[in-house]
């Protein structure tokens, strides 16, 4: 009898253990982790992904890292062949390294098999977020979050009659959205240290951050309109006379002048968050920042709604905006590749893309962007289309981090620390970049 | 007595649960063997987490290895990394910034730390409370200190600027501690001094309290002035402790990273970019693993060499 009882108990425990292991897996389904930066669009993606879970039963987990540490944390993860992330919404510049080092799954076959047409996505975003080598039909990501560097301004201040009158008297034109970089600086200078509602305000919050990518993303936004080019279009990696052309020198000098004349005191290490803080607290008339933040700013109770306006980075000699944004990739080390690919398939569909835009994400799908009503869906939607039509990206080479850090140093030394000349900084930059390309065997 | 009873009880219980086979084996071991038995796990742990990485770093320093390119061929480059580092003006600039920071921070901390220790040693009313208050900053995390000093230095709302403005009459937002090239290095020295002077004070205080009273009594019998007592008794006898504090702070400040990274990130420009920040950028942002290994070895040898020279000097002072 005792033996029978023991047997029955053992069987019961074994059965409980077996069901205990499989039942939750059935009930909850598999879980995949998506890694991205911690910012407004990430919250929209959490909301959007609930549809994926409802449709497939695959649970979503998210790993969001604040922007200043995003590259460090995630590149570390990729380089150590970590299994934390099944899906990665990585920065556009990572694509070269991630592709060449086998960290992202190549998606061509999958796209063909599932009938996903990359031509359904805006060409600039495909080139920026998905292709490697650039210009080749090799896709390592699906364009996920379109973005460009743009501007916001205090529409309510611009509308005040006494301010408008004074501006017109001083500059001989109406106070309006700037059409050139020079006009932008005029406006910033006009507002610098102006007292509005009893409070001293400043001209512009621009990118000056030293540690990660901040000042480079800001400076390039000024360099492109002045005519800066990364290389000779006819001879890759030939930078002499392009990176340090007279126009590029003027662009860099312009950015320094803008920093010196028109930023709030102590604004020597500011990036996205510092810009948002300065604008939301009513410190500045103009703010340089990524379009990704514009939906949140528009909803802001203090400076949003009728008080805020948006504009595309103004041209000077030509047009140009720094590309932001990211593609979504499947991490090669993921043990859940099938589920991760299923997410990409679901994300690529037009319905999902429409909802993505509605929730605050920037879709890159032509079906969303080419909709005749798209421009009316948000006050910054039309500007977004214009900006995405003129974007230029930083190097996306496997050695992009070395190229970026070299530029961070050269530019910060010149713009913020007042060391040397613009020509000297750009000449030095060519020397640094040449060294990197030589080490990589590209020169 | 209670403790001994408790201990013997514990030993008895351990003996009871130890199997006779194990007990016989242990009884057969020499004292030396038992000592080895105890220290072996620690030795293995140290080998695994200290010595092996050091040897591996030395090995990598002679290669072009990059941790982010696992598929690339790793080539032996001989001394090329060392040569490249030692001829790189940016590295020398970072070393200069580090040396300046180490010199000024230690000088100021030693002067203030010793003065505070000397005052606390007088045992005035409430000196216990003051000692506790003075020690508070060094109990904080450098990350917390870096963050709140960033706010204190904020030119528009920062308390530091307001205090300086109140004392000097200059407008609060007329200077920017973290943004101006001449001020940023001093901003870091001030924060480090605020945080670590108590540590120097504590070591100096131990030194002052170790001086026997009878020496001062003898000096007073000889009618030595307080000034003479300070120069002939207090300072020489506390000197080994002061030198010890300088050694500890020197090694720590040579490696300074966290606070500077939070306060300035090495900026403005490269004004506060210390060797440790350059090393971090090379190793974990540019992923030049071989190159950064060589850099780490150079820094290690520098600190180790300087510390050894210093320890010899310290021993000479102590033997006087």
| Nearest chain B residue to A409, by CA | B269
Do A412 and B284 count as a contact with CB atoms less than 8 A apart?
A: no
d(CA A204, CA A317): 22
pLDDT value for A6: 44
Do B261 and A405 count as a contact with CB atoms less than 8 A apart?
A: no
d(CA B153, CA A267): 12
A106 contacts A330 by C-beta, under 8 angstroms: no
Residues of B in contact with A81 (CB under 8 A): 70
Task: Give me the mean pLDDT over the B68-72 stretch.
Answer: 80
Q: Is the pLDDT score of A237 beyond 60?
A: yes
Do B67 and A412 count as a contact with CB atoms less than 8 A apart?
A: no
pLDDT value for A41: 93
pLDDT value for A2: 45
User: Hey, of B271, B285, B291, which one would you mutate to test binding to chain A, going by the most A CBs within 10 A of its CB?
Assistant: B285
Q: Is the pLDDT score of A27 beyond 70?
A: no
- What interface predicted TM-score (ipTM) does this complex get? 0.78
Residues of A in contact with B265 (CB under 8 A): 209-211, 269
B151 interface with A at CB cutoff 8 Å: no
Task: Give me the mean pLDDT over the A355-370 stretch.
Answer: 95
Please, which pLDDT band fits residue A9 given cuts at 50, 70 and 90?
very low
Tell which B residues from 14 to 73 touch A, by Cβ distance under 8 Å.
Answer: 67-71
Residues of B in contact with A78 (CB under 8 A): 68
Of B155, B264, B281, the CB nearest to A269: B264
pLDDT value for B317: 82
So where are chain B's domains? 6-45, 82-318
Please, which pLDDT band fits residue A212 given cuts at 50, 70 and 90?
confident
Residues of B in contact with A100 (CB under 8 A): 69
What is the residue whose two structure tokens read 């510092």?
A274
Residues of B in contact with A209 (CB under 8 A): 265
DSSP state for residue A61 in the 8-state scheme: E
Radius of gyration of chain B (CA): 26
pLDDT mean across residues, chain B: 90
| Nearest chain A residue to B289, by CA | A79
B271 interface with A at CB cutoff 8 Å: yes
Do B269 and A75 count as a contact with CB atoms less than 8 A apart?
A: no
Residue A377 token pair: 């869906």
d(CA B104, CA B109): 8
Task: Give me the mean pLDDT over the A336-354 stretch.
Answer: 96
Residues of A in contact with B264 (CB under 8 A): 210, 269
Do A419 and B269 count as a contact with CB atoms less than 8 A apart?
A: yes
| Nearest chain B residue to A193, by CA | B173
Please enumerate in sequence order all residues whose Cβ is within 8 A of that of B64, keeping only pairs 6 or more positions apart, or say none: B74, B75, B77, B290, B291
| Nearest chain A residue to B267, by CA | A210
Closest to A172 (Cα-Cα) out of A162, A186, A160: A186
Q: Kindly tell me the burial class for residue A91, based on how many C-beta atoms sit within 10 Å of its own C-beta (0-12, 13-18, 19 or more).
A: buried
d(CA A50, CA A42): 13
Please enumerate in sequence order all residues whose Cβ is within 8 A of that of B47, keeping only pairs 6 or more positions apart, or say none: none
d(CA B252, CA A406): 28
Q: Is the pLDDT score of B21 beyond 90?
A: no
pLDDT mean across residues, chain A: 92
pLDDT tens, position by position, B125-174: 888 888 899 999 999 999 999 999 999 999 888 999 999 999 999 888 88
| Nearest chain A residue to B177, by CA | A266
Closest to A206 (Cα-Cα) out of A146, A269, A158: A269
Residue A407 token pair: 């530029």
User: Hey, of B84, B162, B261, B268, which one would you mutate to test binding to chain A, going by the most A CBs within 10 A of its CB?
Assistant: B268
Q: Is the pLDDT score of A171 beyond 80?
A: yes
pLDDT tens, position by position, A117-134: 999 999 989 999 999 998
Q: Is the pLDDT score of A173 beyond 90?
A: yes
B173 interface with A at CB cutoff 8 Å: yes
B267 interface with A at CB cutoff 8 Å: yes
B87 interface with A at CB cutoff 8 Å: no
pLDDT value for B126: 82
pLDDT value for B157: 86
pLDDT tens, position by position, A40-75: 899 999 999 999 999 999 999 999 999 888 988 999
Q: Is the pLDDT score of B189 beyond 90?
A: yes
| Cβ neighbours, 10 Å, residue A333 | 18
| Nearest chain B residue to A78, by CA | B68
B281 interface with A at CB cutoff 8 Å: yes
Do A266 and B176 count as a contact with CB atoms less than 8 A apart?
A: yes
B285 interface with A at CB cutoff 8 Å: yes
Closest to B257 (Cα-Cα) out of B89, B97, B53: B97
Residues in A whose CB is inside 8 Å of some CB of B read 71-72, 75-76, 78-81, 97, 100-102, 209-211, 264-269, 398, 401-402, 405, 409, 412-414, 416-419
Do A209 and B268 count as a contact with CB atoms less than 8 A apart?
A: no
Q: Is the pLDDT score of B49 beyond 80?
A: yes
Q: Kindly tell me the burial class for residue A343, based on how many C-beta atoms sit within 10 Å of its own C-beta (0-12, 13-18, 19 or more).
A: buried
Task: Give me the mean pLDDT over the A136-163 stretch.
Answer: 97
Residue B295 token pair: 């850099």
d(CA B242, CA B235): 9
**How many residue contacts between A and B have a Cβ separation below 8 Å?**
90
User: Hey, of A97, A207, A260, A268, which one would you mutate to test binding to chain B, going by the most B CBs within 10 A of its CB?
Assistant: A268
User: Hey, of B164, B171, B265, which one would you mutate to test binding to chain A, going by the most A CBs within 10 A of its CB?
Assistant: B265
pLDDT value for A3: 42
Coil, strand or helix at A187 = helix
Task: Give me the mean pLDDT over the A274-290 stretch.
Answer: 97
| Cβ neighbours, 10 Å, residue B280 | 17
Residue A168 token pair: 């017109």
Domain B82-318 listed as CATH 1.10.3720.10: yes
User: Hey, of B73, B150, B173, B267, which one would you mutate to test binding to chain A, going by the most A CBs within 10 A of its CB?
Assistant: B267
Residues of B in contact with A409 (CB under 8 A): 90, 269-270
Residues of B in contact with A417 (CB under 8 A): 181, 267-271
Instruction: Tell whether pTM > 0.95.
Output: no
Please, which pLDDT band fits residue B180 given cuts at 50, 70 and 90?
very high
Q: Is the pLDDT score of B5 beyond 80?
A: no
Q: Is the pLDDT score of A235 beyond 70?
A: yes
Q: Is the pLDDT score of A379 beyond 90?
A: yes
Percent of chain A that is helix, strand, coil (3-state, to 5): 50, 15, 30
Do A269 and B286 count as a contact with CB atoms less than 8 A apart?
A: no
Residue B203 token pair: 């070591």
pLDDT value for B13: 75
pLDDT value for B112: 97
Of A265, A398, A418, the CB nearest to B181: A418
């Amino acid at each position: 009898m005792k033996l029978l009882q023991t047997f029955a108990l053992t069987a019961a425990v074994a059965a409980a253990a077996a069901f205990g292991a499989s039942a939750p897996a059935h009930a909850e389904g598999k879980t995949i982790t998506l890694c991205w930066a911690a910012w407004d669009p990430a919250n929209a993606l959490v909301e959007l992904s609930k549809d994926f879970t409802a449709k497939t039963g695959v649970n979503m987990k998210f790993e969001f890292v604040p922007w200043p540490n995003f590259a460090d944390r995630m590149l570390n993860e990729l380089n150590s062949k970590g299994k934390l992330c099944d899906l990665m919404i990585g920065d556009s510049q990572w694509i070269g390294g991630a592709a060449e080092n086998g960290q992202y799954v190549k998606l061509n076959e999958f796209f063909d098999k599932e009938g996903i047409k990359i031509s359904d996505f805006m060409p600039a975003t495909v080139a920026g977020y998905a292709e490697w080598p650039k210009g080749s039909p090799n896709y390592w990501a699906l364009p996920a979050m379109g973005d460009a560097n743009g501007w916001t301004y205090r529409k309510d201040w611009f509308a005040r009659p006494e301010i408008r009158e004074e501006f017109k008297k001083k500059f001989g034109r109406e106070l309006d959205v700037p059409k050139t970089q020079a006009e932008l600086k005029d406006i910033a200078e006009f507002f610098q240290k102006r007292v509005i509602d009893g409070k001293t305000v400043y001209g512009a919050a621009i990118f000056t951050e030293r540690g990660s990518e901040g000042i480079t993303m800001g400076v390039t936004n000024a360099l492109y309109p002045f005519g800066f080019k990364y290389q000779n279009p006819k001879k890759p990696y030939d930078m002499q006379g392009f990176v340090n052309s007279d126009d590029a020198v003027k662009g860099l000098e312009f950015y320094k002048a803008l920093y010196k004349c028109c930023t709030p005191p102590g604004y020597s290490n500011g990036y996205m968050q510092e810009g948002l803080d300065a604008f939301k607290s009513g410190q500045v008339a103009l703010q340089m920042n990524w379009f990704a933040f514009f939906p949140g700013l528009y909803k802001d109770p203090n400076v949003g709604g009728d008080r805020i306006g948006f504009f595309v980075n103004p041209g000077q000699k030509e047009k140009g905006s720094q590309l932001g944004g990211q593609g979504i990739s499947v991490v090669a080390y993921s043990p859940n590749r099938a589920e991760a690919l299923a997410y990409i398939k679901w994300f690529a569909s037009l319905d999902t893309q429409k909802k993505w835009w509605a929730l605050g994400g920037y879709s890159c799908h032509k079906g969303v962007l080419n909709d005749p009503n798209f421009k009316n869906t948000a006050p910054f939607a039309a500007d977004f289309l214009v900006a995405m039509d003129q974007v230029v990206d930083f190097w996306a080479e496997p050695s992009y981090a070395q190229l970026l850090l070299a530029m961070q140093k050269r530019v910060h030394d010149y713009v913020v620390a007042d060391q040397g000349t613009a020509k000297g900084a750009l000449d030095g930059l060519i020397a640094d970049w040449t060294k990197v390309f030589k080490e990589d065997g590209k020169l | 007595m209670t403790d001994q009873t408790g201990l013997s009880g514990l030993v008895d219980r351990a003996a009871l649960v130890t199997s006779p086979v194990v007990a016989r084996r242990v009884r057969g071991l020499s004292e030396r063997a038992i000592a080895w038995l105890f220290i072996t796990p620690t030795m293995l742990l140290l080998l695994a987490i200290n010595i092996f990485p050091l040897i591996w770093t030395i090995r990598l320093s002679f290669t072009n290895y990059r941790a982010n390119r696992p598929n690339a061929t790793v080539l032996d480059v001989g001394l090329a990394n060392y040569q490249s580092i030692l001829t790189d003006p940016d590295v020398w600039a970072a070393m200069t910034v580090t040396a300046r920071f180490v010199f000024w921070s230690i000088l100021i901390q030693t002067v203030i730390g010793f003065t505070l220790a000397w005052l606390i040693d007088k045992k005035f009313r409430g000196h216990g409370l003051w000692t506790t208050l003075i020690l508070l900053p060094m109990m904080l995390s450098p990350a917390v200190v870096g963050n709140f000093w960033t706010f204190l230095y904020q030119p528009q709302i920062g308390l530091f600027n307001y205090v300086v403005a109140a004392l000097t009459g200059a407008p609060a937002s007329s200077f920017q501690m973290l943004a101006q090239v001449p001020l940023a290095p001093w901003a870091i020295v001030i924060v480090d001094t605020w945080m670590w002077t108590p540590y120097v004070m504590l070591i100096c205080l131990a030194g002052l309290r170790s001086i026997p009273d009878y020496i001062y009594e003898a000096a007073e019998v000889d009618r030595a002035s307080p000034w003479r007592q300070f120069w002939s008794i207090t300072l020489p006898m506390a000197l080994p402790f002061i030198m010890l504090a300088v050694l500890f702070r020197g090694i720590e400040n040579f490696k300074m990273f966290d606070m500077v990274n939070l306060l300035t990130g090495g900026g403005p420009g490269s004004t506060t970019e210390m060797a440790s920040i350059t090393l971090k950028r090379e190793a974990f942002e540019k992923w030049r693993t071989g190159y950064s290994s060589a850099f780490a070895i150079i820094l290690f040898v520098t600190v180790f060499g300087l510390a050894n020279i210093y320890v010899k000097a310290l021993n000479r002072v102590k033997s006087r």
